[in-house]
A and B are shown apart, each in its own frame.
Chain A
Amino acid sequence: NAGVTQTPKFQVLKTGQSMTLQCAQDMNHEYMSWYRQDPGMGLRLIHYSVGAGITDQGEVPNGYNVSRSTTEDFPLRLLSAAPSQTSVYFCASSYGGQGSEQFFGPGTRLTVL
């Protein structure tokens, strides 16, 4: 099993550009989530999904969209990138929701100029 995969590993955007961060898992996990990690801030939840077709907002959802058309994939879209979105983005999945072990992808390092 590949576990949780994320692409790209690194990305540089200009302010105002849009892009999609890809996340896929092959563990048949229903629960998936997106976090951002900034220095001195810890991981903060952006959006999460408890199953295909169901998504919900986390702590910091503004500027981001998600969709969950399949169990395996959970892409994160940046609508109009801003320098404040410079961060490391982690996708995670788990079998039983937030009370279970979260399996994280390797992360995407995003810089917005």
Chain B
Amino acid sequence: RKEVEQDPGPFNVPEGATVAFNCTYSNSASQSFFWYRQDCRKEPKLLMSVYSSGNEDGRFTAQLNRASQYISLLIRDSKLSDSATYLCVVTGSGNTPLVFGKGTRLSVIA
């Protein structure tokens, strides 16, 4: 099982739609969880950290399920500007202290 797995997409959704991404991770000892956003040909930027109790930032909601080892990202009322690749990131161990998923591509269509 790969350390962090994401559905690569693409997810093509109309403006205003709600879209959800899931990510599974294999290391049960992982302590920190993040969603990063990466625009085409740009560097990744932190979108939000994911806390055990779940957390919300405007239209974005992140959830963590430690028992099932997955995290999720919900985007409500999608905007054209949300079009990007969303990277699931989990702390690992050894020579992979931070493990990045391959990303899920989102295209929001007018």
Contact = CB atoms under 8 A, between A and B. Distances in A.
Interface of A: 33, 35, 40-45, 48, 56-59, 61, 90, 97-99, 101-102, 104-107
B91 A58 contact: no
Contacts, number: 53
B95 A45 contact: yes
Interface of B: 4, 31-32, 34, 36, 42-46, 49, 87, 91-92, 95-98, 100-103
Given A45-B95, A99-B31, A99-B91, A106 B42 contact: yes
B43 A59 contact: no
Contact of B46 (A35, A43, A44, A101): A101
Contacts of A101: 34, 46, 49
B100 A42 contact: yes
A90 B87 CA distance: 15
The 6 closest A-B pairs by CB, nearest first: A104-B43, A42-B102, A98-B97, A43-B100, A99-B32, A98-B98
